[in-house]
Structure 1
Amino acid sequence: MTKALPIMFQGTHSDAGKSVIVTAFCRIFAQDGWKTVPFKSQNMALNSYITVDGKEIGRAQGVQAEAAKTMATTDMNPILLKPNRGNQAQVVVHGKPYKNMEAGAYRQDFYQQGLQMINDALERLSEDNERIVIEGAGSPAEINLNDREMVNMRVARMANAPVVLVGDIEKGGVFASLVGTLQLLEPEDRDRVIGVVINKFRGDVKLLESGLQWFEEYTGKPVLGVVPYLQNLNIDAEDSVILDQYTSQQNHEKEIDIAVIQYPRISNFTDVDPFFVEEDCYVRFITSADQLKEPDLIILPGSKNTIDDFQFLQESGLASKIIDLHNQKNTRIFGICGGFQMLGESISDPFAIESTKALSDGLGLLPVQTTITKEKTTVQSQGQINFCDKIFKVEGYEIHMGSSMISEDGEELITTETGTDGCKNKDEDVVGTYFHGIFHNDELRETLINEVRKSKGLAPIYERVSFNQLREEAFDRLADHVRAHVNIGFIEEKMIEFQKRSVIK
């Protein structure tokens, strides 16, 4: 089928590190001069990415496109599932909402249509590129789902791609998970696996050698690499399962305490990533009122379901605690997208787009009223922000189903080419915006942190790190790391061999 040479990475389970390995190979192939693109047929994630033409795809594929030094398109992730409520998800097809579907109906009614979309996207990518790095999802050995799966081995067959199986040794049982996965595959699919990569290794690799030898003898599959755990990799995570690690791996003694509210349907939590590289910022993800304590800055991130997540704030006691901290301690609060909506006076969902509850109060900290609408806004945005006696340019992206009206006494935050965005109070200690990625703007982030420092009697710190530059350096560091520990040459030989087989057939 393909002109481009494909390679596919599948995992023994979710969070095995497939996305990171795919990102590494995207940068490796790009460094070697190949026109490269990532591909994931179907992604389930609340962390999304907006393409230049205003379409929505999985954030991992957008980041992988950046690693490949190419422009992200919806062909790289034609189907995105965004869990909504209960057993339901919003199905996003080529970057635009298709409909909300229950899991059973999706498997039954969307399957053939989805396969055709996937095949067509692969065909287009193959015609225009030289390398396709394909990512699977979950595990290819989900025997209860494999009759109608369209993200693992069926895609590998469609693309005629060799498969590398990735196992995560950090969680333990890596040999059992690799062997078990291989044994549960159909013989045809097992033959497609050219080898395995053991990921997230810590310690002395010599202690692993006897196990590696046993594995190769038992399965007949080569171990193509053991990749040591790479610390402080400034590349966006996709899955919220990593949030516990975000908090636990930091220095708790830093001067600025930032609390991020982790509601059940948190989305685009990577908006706060730039704070992790700041030398004076400690970031905590909070799920209960007793965890909140007295932070210097509270961030309300995005939400897939604003009303239901605000109900979580109320029931957990976080809502009243946040209001008290602002009123009594002048704690700074910053809301993004759904978090911005929660800062307002009311949120209505008259068409039950996100919630069965038609109307909810907000925190009442900004003079804003929000209505959840049927049309979804997805756009890359830019404008001028007026903040702390400074005016500077900011960029971001918007993903929201809803519009927010600011009362006459409210002060708008950002001036854009088409209007305005966001709101702030007169003291500028409560701020809300629809701009995801707002903290990736270095000048704004520096200004905000230094205002917090001044309020604590600390001297400001200027000339802070450029987060976007750190990201680019991280892609190269990741590529160098994987090159050093994975047999790239063998994988490329197999990519060529598989395509020769298809020509012969």
Structure 2
Amino acid sequence: MSDKIQLPRPVPGQRLATCVMVLGTSSGAGKSWVTTALCAWYRAQGYKVAPFKAQNMSNNARVVATPDGQWGEIGTAQYLQALAAGCTPDVRMNPLLLKPEADTRSQVVLFGQVSKELTAMPWRGRSQHVWPQIAQALDELRAENEVVVIEGAGSPAEINLHASDVVNMRVARHCQAHCLLVADIDRGGAFAHLYGTWALLPEDEQRLIRGFVLNKFRGDASLLAPAPQMLEEKTGVPTVACIPMQFGHGLPEEDGVFDDRGSAGAGQAVHTTVAILAYPRLSNLDEFQPLLQVPGLRVVWARSPAQLAAVDWVILPGSKATAADLAWMRAQGLDAAVVAHANAGGRVLGICGGLQMLGEALIDPHGVDGNAAGLGLLPLVTLFEQDKLVQPTALVLPELQAPWQALGGAAVRGYEIHHGQTRLRADMQAGSDAKARELLPGMLWQGGNPAVLGTYLHGLFENAAVIHALFGRSAPSLEQVFERLVQGVEQWFEGSN
């Protein structure tokens, strides 16, 4: 075990796990990433570790087993934190998942399953209903592990939400967590953010803040003095770590699209440019993180037709509001740009909601998503059903026509999360000389224009065989990413107390 790091450790014979909680002064401060690093570090010390986040708001989700033997969803961040901790992802690790469908509406997922009752309930009315179940999930994880690393949400000082809080300080008080407060120093104003957040907390909650963390620092750390010392004099809380800016750390961003500054291809000759459409309700964007690790590959998040002008691929990712995002594409002129790209021989890949957009029509008899005409690049019709299909998927890709032929025969694993059921309509191919093919029923289609491919499989690029087949390169494995995080914690938290 490392003796350099003074992060809290379990007490021998202790009945419940030691809890370490990572809070942030704002969204995007780096909570998810720091939590993952701590999960990996505690695992490396030989402890039995689990992550926990009471409530996550994200359209990035992964499929895990539920206690009743079904399949459910948790936030991608908690899924990856569980892998970093060396444990099996569990719905208790993220008991409440909010999936935004509009600015004022989210689908509520409780213990992996959509709850129509909670979805219809006012925001502030939910806490009294969900807190007992959240507390029970945390207590069960504490009883089964030696360390639970907990992630907060947003800021604990959102005083308009404090009374109905179920994710930040209410959790911290429940388990008397050792809390670390993280600020993004790259934004500026980090010391004010840290002090202001601490100052807005009640005294009993202030005492739970045991360390400040400066994240995303660029420059000479010695220049920070005397600010950390002055901050400690005002609060009694030491600054326990200063983490350098980590471009290319290998984990997906939790709260937004990533840029290409951390790309393995940054500064290299670009052999392939991939444009991913960044519509307002895109989902599961984390599955594209491996593309950043491919040397010489450039990723562009496209919001205008001009950004598709000189790209090799266009990817239509998943969407939590397919019809609305399709309307947004049309308003930007991206629909015509995608069709023009395909007609010029450029590759087009649609995944889940993106696949549905490539078809002829979206039909929504139950008011799940909305009705819309598709882009017409695949002769498909999607019917939205009330119940969501959530399941892991493993398959062997069949023979594909060029330019996707390199994928033929690849064994891949991924997952499905969708309300829509999509079918090939033979009558819609009547006027086509080269007809589309349903390669795997309900799962994979290649267009009459073979450059167009659509699938319901999320996680395609997370398969090393796919990356190698398409680009002749490899990307670092998650275990390699976790090993680097452990080394980072050893460096950044050395001498903390």
TM > 0.5? yes
Deviation of residue 52 (structure 1)?
4.3
Q: Paired residue for 1:83, among 73, 94, 100? A: 100
- Whether the 8 Å CA contact 1:332–1:429 is kept in 2: the answer is yes
**What is the aligned partner in structure 2 of residue 430 from structure 1?**
452
Report 1:340-489 matches (<5 A). 340-355=355-370, 359-386=371-398, 387=400, 388=405, 390-408=408-426, 410-414=436-440, 420-449=442-471, 462=472, 464-465=473-474, 467=475, 469-487=476-494
Q: Distance in 1 between matches of 2:359 and 2:470?
A: 21
**What is the aligned partner in structure 2 of residue 35 from structure 1?**
48
Pick closer, same or farther for the CA change 1:243–1:88 going to 2, 3 Å: farther
Aligned partner of residue 443 in structure 2, secondary structure = strand
Task: State yes or no: 1:339 paired with 2:351.
Answer: no
Aligned partner of residue 38 in structure 1, secondary structure = strand
Q: Distance in 2 between matches of 1:489 and 1:210?
A: 17
Report 1:48-67 matches (<5 A). 48-52=61-65, 54-67=71-84
Q: Distance in 2 between matches of 1:332 and 1:249?
A: 20
Q: Distance in 1 between matches of 2:133 and 2:346?
A: 49
- Whether the 8 Å CA contact 1:89–1:100 is kept in 2: the answer is no
Deviation of residue 280 (structure 1)?
2.4
Report 1:33-432 matches (<5 A). 33-52=46-65, 54-99=71-116, 105-108=122-125, 110-240=126-256, 242=258, 250-251=266-267, 253-327=269-343, 329-355=344-370, 359-386=371-398, 387=400, 388=405, 390-408=408-426, 410-414=436-440, 420-432=442-454
Deviation of residue 297 (structure 1)?
0.5
**Corresponding letter in the other structure for 1:411:** R
Q: Distance in 2 between matches of 1:488 and 1:156?
A: 24
**What is the aligned partner in structure 2 of residue 26 from structure 1?**
39
Pick closer, same or farther for the CA change 1:373–1:265 going to 2, 3 Å: same
Pick closer, same or farther for the CA change 1:362–1:281 going to 2, 3 Å: same
Q: Which moved more, 1:97-106 or 1:295-304?
A: 97-106
Deviation of residue 447 (structure 1)?
3.1
Q: Which moved more, 1:342-351 or 1:435-444?
A: 435-444
After superposition, what is the alpha-carbon deviation per residue over 1:14-44, rounded to whole angstroms, capped at 9, x for unaligned? 1111111110110011111111000000000
**Corresponding letter in the other structure for 1:413:** L
Q: Distance in 2 between matches of 1:478 and 1:373?
A: 42
- Whether the 8 Å CA contact 1:47–1:239 is kept in 2: the answer is no
- Whether the 8 Å CA contact 1:334–1:432 is kept in 2: the answer is yes
Q: Distance in 2 between matches of 1:383 and 1:163?
A: 43
Deviation of residue 321 (structure 1)?
1.2
Q: Distance in 2 between matches of 1:55 and 1:261?
A: 27
**What is the aligned partner in structure 2 of residue 498 from structure 1?**
none
Aligned partner of residue 70 in structure 1, secondary structure = coil
Q: Distance in 1 between matches of 2:60 and 2:297?
A: 23
Deviation of residue 210 (structure 1)?
1.3
Deviation of residue 402 (structure 1)?
1.1
Aligned partner of residue 116 in structure 1, secondary structure = helix
**What is the aligned partner in structure 1 of residue 20 from structure 2?**
7
Q: Distance in 2 between matches of 1:128 and 1:13?
A: 31
Deviation of residue 99 (structure 1)?
2.0
**Corresponding letter in the other structure for 1:484:** Q
Aligned partner of residue 391 in structure 1, secondary structure = coil
- Whether the 8 Å CA contact 2:108–2:119 is kept in 1: the answer is no
Pick closer, same or farther for the CA change 1:189–1:244 going to 2, 3 Å: farther
- Whether the 8 Å CA contact 1:382–1:394 is kept in 2: the answer is yes
Aligned partner of residue 186 in structure 2, secondary structure = coil
Deviation of residue 247 (structure 1)?
8.5
Aligned partner of residue 21 in structure 2, secondary structure = strand
Aligned partner of residue 376 in structure 1, secondary structure = strand
Deviation of residue 312 (structure 1)?
0.9
Aligned partner of residue 3 in structure 1, secondary structure = coil
Pick closer, same or farther for the CA change 1:102–1:284 going to 2, 3 Å: same
Pick closer, same or farther for the CA change 1:248–1:352 going to 2, 3 Å: farther
- Whether the 8 Å CA contact 2:22–2:180 is kept in 1: the answer is yes
TM-score by length of 2: 0.89
Q: Distance in 1 between matches of 2:119 and 2:387?
A: 20
Deviation of residue 426 (structure 1)?
4.3
**Corresponding letter in the other structure for 2:416:** E
Pick closer, same or farther for the CA change 1:267–1:101 going to 2, 3 Å: same
After superposition, what is the alpha-carbon deviation per residue over 1:138-171, rounded to whole angstroms, capped at 9, x for unaligned? 1111111101111100000111212111111110
**Corresponding letter in the other structure for 2:111:** H
Q: Distance in 2 between matches of 1:246 and 1:336?
A: 24
Aligned partner of residue 236 in structure 1, secondary structure = coil
- Whether the 8 Å CA contact 1:63–1:236 is kept in 2: the answer is no
Q: Distance in 2 between matches of 1:294 and 1:101?
A: 45
Pick closer, same or farther for the CA change 1:240–1:166 going to 2, 3 Å: same
Deviation of residue 103 (structure 1)?
9.1
Pick closer, same or farther for the CA change 1:311–1:400 going to 2, 3 Å: same
**Corresponding letter in the other structure for 1:27:** A
The gaps in structure 2 that reach 5 residues or longer are: 1-13, 427-434
- What do you get for the CA RMSD once the two structures are aligned? 2.1
**Corresponding letter in the other structure for 1:111:** S
**Corresponding letter in the other structure for 2:33:** V
Aligned partner of residue 25 in structure 1, secondary structure = helix
Deviation of residue 188 (structure 1)?
0.5
Deviation of residue 251 (structure 1)?
4.1
Q: Distance in 2 between matches of 1:444 and 1:134?
A: 34
- Whether the 8 Å CA contact 1:87–1:103 is kept in 2: the answer is no
- Whether the 8 Å CA contact 2:318–2:352 is kept in 1: the answer is yes
**Corresponding letter in the other structure for 2:28:** D
Q: Distance in 2 between matches of 1:13 and 1:101?
A: 26
